[in-house]
Chain A
Amino acid sequence: MLKYIIKRLLLSVPLVLGIVTATFFIARLAPGDPMDMYLEPQRQRQVDPEVIELMRKRYGLDQPIHVQYVTWIKNVARGDFGESFRHRRPVRDIVAEAVPYTLQLTILALLLDALFGISLGIISAVKQYTKLDKTLTVGSLIVYAIPGFWLALMLIMLFSVNLGWFPTSQTRSMNYEDLTMIGKFLDRLWHLALPVFVLGIAGAAGTARYMRNRLLEVLNEEYIVAARARGFRERTVIVKHALRNALIPIVTIYGMSLPFLLGGATIIETIFAWPGMGRLTVAAVGGRDYPIIMATTTIAALLTVLGNLLADVTYAAVDPRVSYDAPRKR
C-alpha cells in the first residue's frame, strides 16, 4: 500500500505541474492587464507612467512570460506565492485568512450532506416504492435540480428579509465583540445556517439518490438473501450486512470532496458575503490578481490530486476485496 501511495504521489507531481502551468499561461495570455487598475476611466487622473512601469518591474510583469513562469515556480518551491497586486500583501497571509472561513462553511455543509443524504437514502431504499420513497425521490430530484444561487436568494428573501430569522450575509453580527463566548459561538452558527443549508442540502439530494441505489443493489446480493435465510432480523441484515457494503463507495465520494473543503463554494460565498477562498478567487480573477489566482489554483490542483488518492486509499481500507499490493506468488 505504501509503495502504491508513493507511486501515486510521484505521478501526481507532473499532473499538478501541468495544471498550474496551463493556468499560469492561460491567465497571463488572457486579455487584460493588472496594471489597468491604475487606469480606470472614472479616475480621470494623470497617473505617472513611470510608476506604472515601476510596478510592472516590482511584480516582474516586465519580464518575458517564460521568465515570469520560471521565477514563479522557483518561488512556489520555497513556499512563496508572491505579493497580491490588489492587497499588496503576501498571498500566503491572504489565503491563510480565507481558509478558516471556508473550512467552517464546507465542513458543516459536508456534515449536513452526509447526515441528510445517507439517512434519507437509507429510508428511501428500505421503504422502496412506498409513498415515502416516492416523495423522497421526487423531493431530492427537485432539490438537486434547483440552482444553488437561486435557492440561496429565495431563502434569504424568506428567512432574512421577510421573517428576519437569519442574517442576510456575513460571518458575524455587528455586536459580536459584546457577546459572551457561548453567544459568539451561537452567533457564528446563526450566520452559518443559511449558507451551510444551501450548500449541504444540494449535496444531500445527490447523496440520497446515490445511497438509495447503492443500498438497493446490495440488498439484492446473494449474501443478503443468505443472511435473511439464516433468520437474522431485517434490521440486522440492513445495518450490519447491507449498509456497511453500501457505504463503501460513499466513503470514496467524500474523500474526493477535499478540493471543495478548501476551494470553497464560489457562488454561495459571494451571495452571503462569506470571506472564504471562493470569493477570494472570484475577486482575484476580476482584478487580474495573478499571484492569488495562481495560489488558489495550485491549492485546488493539489487537493484534487490528494482527494483522489485519499479516495482510492480509503476504498482499499474499507473494502478488503480491493488491494493495491502485488498479488502473492503461489
Chain B
Amino acid sequence: MKLRRLLGSVSVLATAASFAACGPADDSPDRQSAGPDARGPVTVTVLVPDGDELVMSPVSDTPHKFLMFQPLVARAADGTLEPRLARSWEPSADHTSWTIHLDRNARWHDGVPVTSDDIKFTVELMSLPSVGYGQYYGVEIEVLDDSTFVWRSKRNSPLGDYHSFFPKHVLEKLDPDGFYEWDFWAHPIGNGPYRYVRHLEKTLTELEAVSDYFRGRPAIDRVILKYGSGAGAIPELLASNVDVIPLNAIDVPKVENDRRFQITYKSAFWSGWAGYGIMWNHRHRVFSDPSFRRAATLAIDRPALHSLLHLPDDLPVFDVVFTERQVSEAPEPLPYDPDAARRLLEDAGWVDADGDGVRERDGEELTFTAITDAGQGDRVAVIVQAHLRAVGVRMEIQTLPGPMVVWQTRVKPGDFEAAIFWWNPGVYGTFGPDSFLGYLNEDVHALLEVLQTTQNPAVVDSLYRELWPHFQADIPVTFLVPRVTLFVSDRRLRGLSSPHRGDPVWYMDDLWWEEE
C-alpha cells in the first residue's frame, strides 16, 4: 500500500511538472513548420554536437560558422564551384595566386560592406601565433581595391568552401592576445545568410534569416542549433524535437524505412583517399606480389560490403585516387569475381592441398593478420574476412582501440601485415617515396613529386589520370569503403542532394520546406 502511494506520488509529481512546464518542445509556436508559400515562419532545428560555452568557435568548423559566415566559394550540386562572397576569380597561370572579385552587395550583418580589407585582416589575424589557427599557411593578401584582392599561396587555395572571414571594423581594435575571450564569438556579426539571435547556454543557438542577404533571403526563416549527440540523437529525431541529425551508418536501419525522413550524405572520397581500405604492407613477401593484391580485391564484393554496412547504394567503388572533379571520370574498378580471384591464386601456386579451406604454397598457409580499429573498422574487417575465406585466404583480425592507435602504434612504424582502417596521410605520404606501405613504383613516385609542385587543376587532373594505369596494374591498396558523412533530415526539407549537398547546414540558405 505504502509502495503504491510512493510510486503514485512520484508519477503525479512528474506528470504535474511536465504539464506545468511547457510540454514537448515541438508544441512551441516557433516549431510550426510550413512551406515557403505558407503563412508563418519556417524553422528548422538541427542537432549539433555539444555546444561550446560560446556561440561559435572561431577556429572550428562548426555549423554556426557556416550559417553566419560565407566562404568565397561553395560547391554546387554538380561539384563545381559557385560564387559566394566572391563574384568571380581568376587564377594565375601557375595557380599560385588568384585575383578575387568580391560581390559588391555582400554586407556584414550590421550593414557595413564586406571588403578586401576584411579578407586581409582575417588572414593576418588568424595567422598570429596567439591564435594558432595555421590554416592560412603561407597565404599573402594584396588588396587592389575595396572589392578586389590577390590571394597568393603555393599551398592553400582560396577556393575552399571552409574559409570564413571576420569584420575588420569590429575586431581591429581588440587585443589579439585575448582572441578566444572576445565577446564577438558570443555575439558574432557575420556576413552569411543567418544572423545571431540568441544563445541558451548548453541548450541551443537560434539564428534568423537575413532579410537583405545579398544572395536573396533564405526560404528557411529560422534555424535552431540544438546541442546534443550520441545515443540521444535518434530519439530526438523520432520525437520530432529536431529536423536534422548527423547519422552513424549503424543507425541507418532505425530510420531508413521511416517515410518521414530522408538520408543524404556528403562525401570526402576525393583528394587522395579518405575511407576504409586494406593497406597492404608491400614489404611482406606475399603482399609484395601485385597478383595477390589483385586476387584479394577481386574476392571482395565491395557494393555488398557497402550495403551490409548500411551505406548509400550509390556510393562509388574504385581502385584509383582522383580529384573532386573526376568523381564520374574515374576508371571502372575491378569487379567482384571470386572465380577470377581463385584462378589468380592458383596461378601463383596457392592451392588447398589438405582440403581445410585455406590455400598453401611450399607448406606455408595463406594466412595473415589484419589490424583494424574498434569503430567501423572491425565491422568492415569481419565482412572482408568472410569474402577472403571463400577464396581460400585466412585473415585473422586484431582489433585496436581506434584508427589513431592503429596508425601511430603499428602502421606508421611499419609493424603490420595488412591494416583495415581510415587515415589519410595524403596521396604523397601513402604512395610516394616515403610510402608507409613500402610501395615501390618509380613512375608513381615521379608523378607524385610533380603533383606536389602544382595547384593548377588541369595539371593536377592530368597527373591523376597518369597515375590511374599504375594503380590499376599495382592495386597498391584495396579500397573498400569511401568515407562519407551521413545526415538524416525531415523529408519536407528540400534541396538536398548527395554527394556534394548532403549536409543541410552548409547549404541551408538554398534549402526550402515543402509540405507533402
In residues 127-167 of chain B, which contact A (Cβ within 8 Å)? 127, 129, 132-138, 155-156, 160, 162
Which A residues lie within 8 Å of B59 (CB)?
88
In residues 222-272 of chain B, which contact A (Cβ within 8 Å)? 224, 226-232, 235-236, 238-239, 241, 268, 271-272
> Any chain B CB within 8 A of the CB of A97?
yes
Min C-beta distance of B132 to chain A, whole Å? 5
Min C-beta distance of B198 to chain A, whole Å? 7
In residues 164-198 of chain B, which contact A (Cβ within 8 Å)? 180-181, 198
> In whole angstroms, how far apart are the Cα atoms of A66 and B31 in the complex?
55
Which A residues lie within 8 Å of B15 (CB)?
165
When the two chains form their complex, are residues A42 and B156 in contact, meaning their CB atoms are under 8 A apart?
Answer: no
Which B residues lie within 8 Å of A186 (CB)?
17, 20-21
Which A residues lie within 8 Å of B30 (CB)?
174
Which A residues lie within 8 Å of B236 (CB)?
168-169
Which B residues lie within 8 Å of A206 (CB)?
none
Min C-beta distance of A285 to chain B, whole Å? 11
Main secondary structure of the interface of B (DSSP, over half): loop
When the two chains form their complex, are residues A166 and B160 in contact, meaning their CB atoms are under 8 A apart?
Answer: no
> Any chain B CB within 8 A of the CB of A222?
no
When the two chains form their complex, are residues A190 and B180 in contact, meaning their CB atoms are under 8 A apart?
Answer: no
Which A residues lie within 8 Å of B6 (CB)?
115-116, 119
> Any chain B CB within 8 A of the CB of A172?
yes
When the two chains form their complex, are residues A189 and B17 in contact, meaning their CB atoms are under 8 A apart?
Answer: yes
Residue of B22, B59, B155, B227 with highest tally of chain A CB at under 10 A:
B22
Which B residues lie within 8 Å of A217 (CB)?
none
In residues 1-30 of chain B, which contact A (Cβ within 8 Å)? 2-3, 6, 14-15, 17-18, 20-25, 28, 30
Min C-beta distance of A123 to chain B, whole Å? 7
> Any chain B CB within 8 A of the CB of A109?
no
Min C-beta distance of B228 to chain A, whole Å? 3
When the two chains form their complex, are residues A279 and B50 in contact, meaning their CB atoms are under 8 A apart?
Answer: yes
Min C-beta distance of A160 to chain B, whole Å? 5
> Any chain A CB within 8 A of the CB of B112?
no
When the two chains form their complex, are residues B274 and A51 in contact, meaning their CB atoms are under 8 A apart?
Answer: no
When the two chains form their complex, are residues A273 and B21 in contact, meaning their CB atoms are under 8 A apart?
Answer: no
> Any chain B CB within 8 A of the CB of A171?
yes
Min C-beta distance of A267 to chain B, whole Å? 9
A272-B202 contact, Cβ under 8 Å, with A32-B405, A45-B135, A47-B134: no
Residue of B2, B14, B136, B204 with highest tally of chain A CB at under 10 A:
B14
> Any chain A CB within 8 A of the CB of B449?
no
Which A residues lie within 8 Å of B485 (CB)?
42
Which B residues lie within 8 Å of A190 (CB)?
14, 17-18, 21-22
When the two chains form their complex, are residues A271 and B232 in contact, meaning their CB atoms are under 8 A apart?
Answer: yes
Which B residues lie within 8 Å of A41 (CB)?
274, 422-425, 483
When the two chains form their complex, are residues B18 and A165 in contact, meaning their CB atoms are under 8 A apart?
Answer: yes
A179-B204 contact, Cβ under 8 Å, with A119-B6, A168-B239, A283-B50: no
| Partner pick for B156 among A36, A46, A88, A168, CB 8 A cutoff | A46
> In whole angstroms, how far apart are the Cα atoms of A167 and B25 in the complex?
8
Kindly report which residue of chain A lies nearest to residue B59, judged by CB atoms.
A88
A160-B235 contact, Cβ under 8 Å, with A51-B132, A175-B28, A177-B198: yes
> In whole angstroms, how far apart are the Cα atoms of A157 and B162 in the complex?
37
> Any chain A CB within 8 A of the CB of B38?
no
When the two chains form their complex, are residues B22 and A31 in contact, meaning their CB atoms are under 8 A apart?
Answer: no
Min C-beta distance of B162 to chain A, whole Å? 7
Which A residues lie within 8 Å of B17 (CB)?
186, 189-190, 193
When the two chains form their complex, are residues B239 and A164 in contact, meaning their CB atoms are under 8 A apart?
Answer: yes
| Partner pick for B137 among A51, A89, A149, CB 8 A cutoff | A51
Kindly report which residue of chain B lies nearest to residue A194, judged by CB atoms.
B14
> In whole angstroms, how far apart are the Cα atoms of A84 and B142 in the complex?
35
In residues 47-72 of chain A, which contact B (Cβ within 8 Å)? 47-52, 54-55, 58
> Any chain A CB within 8 A of the CB of B398?
no
> Any chain B CB within 8 A of the CB of A176?
yes
> In whole angstroms, how far apart are the Cα atoms of A42 and B238 in the complex?
29
Which B residues lie within 8 Å of A89 (CB)?
53, 180-181
When the two chains form their complex, are residues A171 and B409 in contact, meaning their CB atoms are under 8 A apart?
Answer: no
When the two chains form their complex, are residues A44 and B268 in contact, meaning their CB atoms are under 8 A apart?
Answer: yes
> In whole angstroms, how far apart are the Cα atoms of A189 and B30 in the complex?
23
A273-B423 contact, Cβ under 8 Å, with A97-B53, A172-B200, A177-B200: no
A161-B22 contact, Cβ under 8 Å, with A89-B53, A169-B228, A176-B200: no
Which A residues lie within 8 Å of B160 (CB)?
45
Which B residues lie within 8 Å of A88 (CB)?
59, 180
> Any chain B CB within 8 A of the CB of A18?
no
Which A residues lie within 8 Å of B18 (CB)?
165-166, 190, 193
> In whole angstroms, how far apart are the Cα atoms of A58 and B127 in the complex?
15
When the two chains form their complex, are residues A174 and B200 in contact, meaning their CB atoms are under 8 A apart?
Answer: yes
When the two chains form their complex, are residues A54 and B200 in contact, meaning their CB atoms are under 8 A apart?
Answer: no
When the two chains form their complex, are residues A87 and B53 in contact, meaning their CB atoms are under 8 A apart?
Answer: yes
Which A residues lie within 8 Å of B268 (CB)?
42, 44
> In whole angstroms, how far apart are the Cα atoms of A153 and B234 in the complex?
10
> Any chain A CB within 8 A of the CB of B466?
no
When the two chains form their complex, are residues A183 and B22 in contact, meaning their CB atoms are under 8 A apart?
Answer: yes
When the two chains form their complex, are residues A94 and B53 in contact, meaning their CB atoms are under 8 A apart?
Answer: yes
When the two chains form their complex, are residues A171 and B202 in contact, meaning their CB atoms are under 8 A apart?
Answer: yes
> In whole angstroms, how far apart are the Cα atoms of A54 and B127 in the complex?
11
> In whole angstroms, how far apart are the Cα atoms of A85 and B241 in the complex?
32
Which B residues lie within 8 Å of A58 (CB)?
132
Which B residues lie within 8 Å of A94 (CB)?
53
> Any chain B CB within 8 A of the CB of A254?
no
A171-B134 contact, Cβ under 8 Å, with A32-B404, A193-B17, A273-B232: no
When the two chains form their complex, are residues A170 and B230 in contact, meaning their CB atoms are under 8 A apart?
Answer: no
> Any chain B CB within 8 A of the CB of A210?
no
> In whole angstroms, how far apart are the Cα atoms of A232 and B139 in the complex?
90
> Any chain B CB within 8 A of the CB of A173?
yes
> Any chain B CB within 8 A of the CB of A275?
yes
Which B residues lie within 8 Å of A46 (CB)?
135, 137-138, 155-156
Which B residues lie within 8 Å of A295 (CB)?
none
When the two chains form their complex, are residues A170 and B228 in contact, meaning their CB atoms are under 8 A apart?
Answer: yes
A119-B2 contact, Cβ under 8 Å, with A42-B274, A48-B138, A174-B226: yes
Kindly report which residue of chain A lies nearest to residue B52, judged by CB atoms.
A87
> Any chain A CB within 8 A of the CB of B203?
yes
> Any chain A CB within 8 A of the CB of B408?
yes
In residues 82-126 of chain A, which contact B (Cβ within 8 Å)? 87-89, 94, 97, 101, 115-116, 119-120, 123
Residue of A48, A161, A183 with highest tally of chain B CB at under 10 A:
A48
When the two chains form their complex, are residues B227 and A273 in contact, meaning their CB atoms are under 8 A apart?
Answer: yes
| Partner pick for B271 among A44, A52, A116, A177, CB 8 A cutoff | A44
Which B residues lie within 8 Å of A174 (CB)?
25, 28, 30-31, 200, 203-204, 224, 226
Min C-beta distance of B425 to chain A, whole Å? 8
When the two chains form their complex, are residues A168 and B235 in contact, meaning their CB atoms are under 8 A apart?
Answer: yes
18 pairs across A/B with beta carbons < 8 Å? A32-B402, A36-B404, A41-B425, A41-B483, A42-B485, A49-B137, A123-B3, A160-B24, A166-B18, A167-B25, A168-B236, A173-B21, A174-B25, A174-B30, A179-B21, A272-B232, A273-B50, A273-B227
Q: A41-B483, A48-B136 given. 5 additional CB < 8 A pairs?
A: A89-B181, A97-B53, A153-B231, A271-B230, A273-B228
Give chain B's interface residues, CB within 8 Å of chain A. Answer: 2-3, 6, 14-15, 17-18, 20-25, 28, 30-31, 50, 52-53, 59, 61, 127, 129, 132-138, 155-156, 160, 162, 180-181, 198, 200, 202-204, 224, 226-232, 235-236, 238-239, 241, 268, 271-272, 274, 401-402, 404-405, 408-409, 422-425, 483, 485
